[in-house]
Amino acid sequence: MIGLWLPVVAWMAAIYYGSAMSSVPGPAAAVSDSVLHIAGYAGLATLTLRATSRGKWAGVTFGALALALVIATVHGLTVEGLQMHVPTRSAEWRDVVNDVLGALLGLLPVWAWSKIRSA
């Protein structure tokens, strides 16, 4: 069980770490903010779905999918709350929308593949 959730926690911590910086570091600074949010939350949601489905294709149910989406969305909201207190950063609803979009873009192909595998 820890092996399923540890990558989720590490990914979340990495997002928090990057969000707490007053500026986006290195090569990531050259990438669109929207792309960073979408890619980051696609990865987070996919790892979270792996954990909520207990690492089994048969476990990829609507409930596991919905829980992964909720966890990713709540994480995105808390990150924006954190950024209200970081100099030179700001909280934006557009970022939360991009987080949810990224989560959906990460989850839907995995869900579709799980249906193909179980057919």
pLDDT for the residue 8: 98
**φ and ψ of 85, to 5 deg:** -110, 10
**pLDDT at res. 119:** 66
Per the confidence metrics, is the pTM higher than 0.85? Answer: yes
Give the mean pLDDT of the chain.
92
pLDDT tens by residue, 33-47 = 899 999 999 999 999
Q: Which residues of 78-117 are buried (b: 16+ CB within 10 A; e: fewer)?
A: ebbeebeeeeebeeeeebbebbbebbbebbeebbeebeee
What is the total residue count of the chain? 119
Domain extents in the chain: 2-19+32-118
Of residues 22 and 107, more confidence is placed in 107
Do 41 and 97 touch, CB atoms closer than 8 A?
Answer: no
